[in-house]
Structure 1
Amino acid sequence: MDSVMKTASEYWVLLQQWWFSQARRDLVTFRNPLEIWQENPSILVCELIFVLWAFVTLRHALHYRGRYLWLWIAAVLHGLVTESVSYFIPNVDNFWHFQTTVMFLKQRLPIYILCYYPAIYYTEIVCISRLKLSPLVEPFLIGLVDVMIDFPYDVMGIKMMWWTWHESDPNIYDRTYFVPWTSYLFHMSFVSSFVILHHLTRYLLTGNHRLDYVSRSTFVEIVCIILTSVFAFPMAVATNFIPVYHILHDLYNVHTEVVVLIVFGTYAMISWSGTRLKETEPKQTAKGRSRRSLFDSLSMMLLIHYMFYMVLVWMASPELLRATGLHQSVTHNCTHMRQESIQTAIGIELYRNASLCSSHHRETYFDLNCPPNPIFNQNLPPEGVSWYTICGTPYPNKVEYIAVVTGFCLLGLSVFYQLLSSAPPLLRKTKK
């Protein structure tokens, strides 16, 4: 008994040492929610919604069985791979998140971003799968739907300083409402590549790609989710970014807005062609349609998502918000800005400023001059630091923001209503 107690005591000491070590802080850190609420309450609500949404989708997956749980796990792993690459490969490291209640990977990955992937991916894939479209069409429609879900989040998130962009990175330089056009290309291409691989691997290894198919082999499903989660990133780059964005933008200086609209139009044409073929099939009448096909846990989370941004754009005062954490490093020597090179996916070398100039910069959605700065007790952060406080700025035109965000939210709700109203409800599968 004494030896057991001694061993337990030794393990407890080791656990304490690890908890207070740099290794633990590199893996996960925590922050007081009350501190976040005082600084930027909007991000705390956003975090709560995405964590709740991920839990709802997990419960949904466990209830309907089949491959739904494997889809949920694949989305989490894909999110972890995508975010890890984005933070630790210098060529694509160009944004920094607000420090939320739980942060992973050296305080770069908020818990709500890890929840974003199973919440959004799972919801839109399951909703669109109910339309029974061709697997050649479904990924592109899901890509379009993903942009509709993401748009209010992107526009309001950057204005509320939930993250900050690198000021001069050429890959994210072209923007509207402070949102890089490549962000929308990222969302379209990554989710569509994820769906293509999700369907293709299961069809090749099991002969059936449907979500309601009850798999007989756990090993095969594990292989499928690994292939899907790992290779969706390079597939999106190879099929969307290299042949369209990098060639047109990097070689011929085509504005990113034009590139994204080309991709968006292509996705829309494929989706319209596929859904038009469904018009020849019998449609459900309003009388015969199950109310559950419209109002389930996933549709309720979509409603909460859109309602949150419609309320936020009306109620928020971004000039009263603060964001303390990692940002682009600051310099006061703006006459001799140091340049750093980045290499694109097609091997072209581009350049960006290594630091953010404190006296003049293009990032008008935040201000460095936040008296009194709670970290340094001065207006501006010292030279070279990357952990400091920024403060929000007023809407350039609040009515315009209200019109844009509310309009897209209502459009998104309308699109999902039309999609779900014409789709049959899901049926729970039981393993035989």
Structure 2
Amino acid sequence: MVKDQNLYAFGASYSNITYEGPLDWFLQFTKIQHVWKYQPTYLIVHFLFIFGGLATLCHARVRGGRLPYLWVGTVLHGLVIESLSYILPDVDNFWHSQTPIMLLGRRLPLHIIFLYPCFIYQSSVGVAKLKLPKWAEPFAVGLGSTLVDTTYDIISVNFLHWKWHDTDPNIADRFYWVPWNSFYFHLCFAASFTFWFHFSRKLICKTDKWEADTRMKEIICTIIAALLGTPEKEVAIGLGEPIGPCHEYVPVQTAFGSVLKKRKYLCATNYDEKYFNFVCLPGKIPPPQGSIWYTTCGVPAPNMVELTAIATCFAVVGFVVYGNMHLNSFGDDVFHISINKKDNNKHESLSKKKIK
């Protein structure tokens, strides 16, 4: 294993990274000073999502019922999706920058695990308070998750919090360098997760929607559902799209059966990802071919005012939507209905026993 201080040397590049064992591959720690020096905005985002994930967990624990299972389900859902993205070649098309705690061969930052509860759990809770028809609820949760994700994606990719594959046709169409498929992904997966989380328990459990059934039944349903700064000052040191020959291509199998193609490697002298470059490196020379771990440099936004305005608009809309869902709706009473019903049933049964 390359020593940590050598990995984070400015301009360092490596064609291979080895691990001392399964635990070393599964869990890696990086000094906070390294991340703060090169990517301070990323470190802030890292801790904000961890805080948000723990806050949603506290809400789930306090409110009880099925909410703890919902929270666990969103975490498992995220782990499954992220893991498959690293394993399947056709969807292995993004690389996170490094954070203080990394998992799965330095591919998965810890805060990404908490990102899914921040998106899906809080959207599910907010939508539940609206008491929408059952058919509409999954779609509303998907829209709510995407609303939160839009600002996050726009800001993060332009600040090098991760990098996309340069020539993958599935993510060729971009919105401020964010693939439209990214928004489609969050919308569809949040909606499908919500559908299966409620539909599967309707088949297995007999209790009300937000009332917890037996632990084993809830676990089965949960498993089913799971199956600001300046960009140019950011420097990302870590795993990225492998650099290699520009003329080598590989096939890409799409969901509809057609076969497209993409470059097998990142062509360091001819690429289209305009949110990073290599000009901050010594001599402005890109990393050598074969590099999988290297340094990339942030670039100034072509129109920072426009980028800020777009991100702010989505943030304001999200604030208004979630503010109304949480403050001008049926509130947390929707999670107490089944609990109160259960208490009433207990009270009636005790009264009957006393009469006898």
- Is contact 1:75-1:117 (8 Å) kept? yes
Aligned partner of 1:387 in structure 2 is 293
Q: Tell me if structure 2 keeps the 8 A contact 1:100–1:110.
A: yes
The whole-number CA distance in structure 2 between the counterparts of 1:99 and 1:350 is 31
- Deviation (angstroms), 1:380: 1.9
Structure with greater helix share of residues: 1
Which of 239, 250, 256 is the matching residue for 1:326? 239
Aligned-residue offset at 1:42: 0.4
**Cα–Cα, structure 1 residues 209 and 150, in superposed 2: closer, same or farther, change >3 Å?**
farther
Say yes or no: does 1:214 pair with 2:127. Answer: no
Instruction: Give the whole-Å Cα distance in 1 for the aligned partners of 2:102 and 2:270.
Output: 31
Structure 2 residue 348 is the aligned partner of structure 1 residue 350: no
**Structure 2 letter corresponding to 1:346:** F
Q: C-alpha root-mean-square deviation of aligned residues, in Å?
A: 1.6
For the pair 1:406 / 2:305, whether they are aligned, the reply is no
Q: 1:121 — aligned with what? A: 120
SS at match of 1:329: coil
SS at match of 2:166: coil
Question: Which position in structure 1 is the counterpart of 2:72?
Answer: 73
**CA deviation digits over 1:115-141, x for unaligned, max 9?**
111222111101110111111111111
3-state SS in 1 of match to 2:282: coil
Q: After superposition, give the CA deviation of every residue in 1:370-401 in whole Å (9 maximum; x if it has no partner).
A: 2239xxxx832111111000000001101111
Is structure 2 residue 18 aligned with structure 1 residue 27? Answer: no
Q: TM-score, normalised by structure 2?
A: 0.86
2:159 maps to 160
Residue 152 of structure 1 deviates from its aligned partner by 0.7
Aligned residue pairs total 320
1-side partners of 2:149 and 2:206: how far apart? Answer: 33
CA distance in 2: counterparts of 1:326 and 1:21, whole angstroms? 18
Partner of 2:223: 226
| 1:177-196 equivalent positions in 2, closer than 5 A | 177-196=176-195
Q: What amino acid is aligned across from residue 222 of structure 1 in structure 2?
A: I
Partners in 2 of 1:385 and 1:111 — Cα distance? 24
Displacement, 1:205?
1.0
Q: Which amino acid is 2:142 matched to?
A: G
User: Is the 2:240–2:293 Cα contact (8 Å) retained in structure 1?
Assistant: yes
Per-residue deviation at 1:63?
A: 0.5
Amino acid at match of 2:324: Q
Cα distance between partner residues in 1 of 2:280 and 2:243: 14
Once residues 320 and 40 of structure 1 are traced to their aligned partners in structure 2, the CA distance between those partners, rounded to angstroms, is: 8
Q: Does the 8 Å contact 2:131/2:330 carry over to 1?
A: no
Name the TM-score, length of structure 1 as normaliser: 0.72
Deviations 1:308-361 (A, max 9, x none): xxxx1xxx1111110001111113x54xx1001121223322110011112121
Match of 1:339 among 249, 267, 282: 249
CA contact (8 A) 2:212 2:218 kept: no
Q: How does 1:220-299 map to 2 (within 5 A)?
A: 220-230=217-227
Can you list the C-alpha shifts for 1:52-85, whole angstroms capped at 9, x where unaligned? 0111111111111100100011111111101011
Q: How far apart are residue 25 of structure 1 and its match?
A: 2.0
Q: Please show how residues 19-98 of structure 1 align to structure 2 within 5 Å.
A: 21-98=20-97
Which amino acid in structure 1 is aligned with residue 129 of structure 2? R
CA distance in 1, matches of 2:60, 2:317: 27
Q: Does residue 1:111 correspond to 2:110, yes or no?
A: yes
Q: Which residue identity lines up with residue 323 of structure 1 in the other structure? A: A
In 1, Cα distance between the equivalents of 2:63 and 2:309?
38
Find the counterpart in structure 1 of residue 325 from structure 2: 419
Question: How many percent of aligned residue pairs carry the same amino acid?
Answer: 37
> In 1, distance between residues paired with 2:139 and 2:199?
14
Give the Cα–Cα distance (whole angstroms) in 2 for the partners of residues 37 and 421 of structure 1.
36
Structure 2: which 5+ residue stretches go unaligned? 1-18, 344-356
- In structure 2, what residue type is equivalent to 1:369? V
* Structure 1 unaligned spans of 5+: 1-19, 231-311
Asked if the contact 1:57/1:123 (under 8 Å) is kept, the reply is: yes
Question: Structure 1 residue 419: deviation in Å?
Answer: 2.5
**Aligned equivalents of 1:91, 1:208: Cα separation in 2:** 41
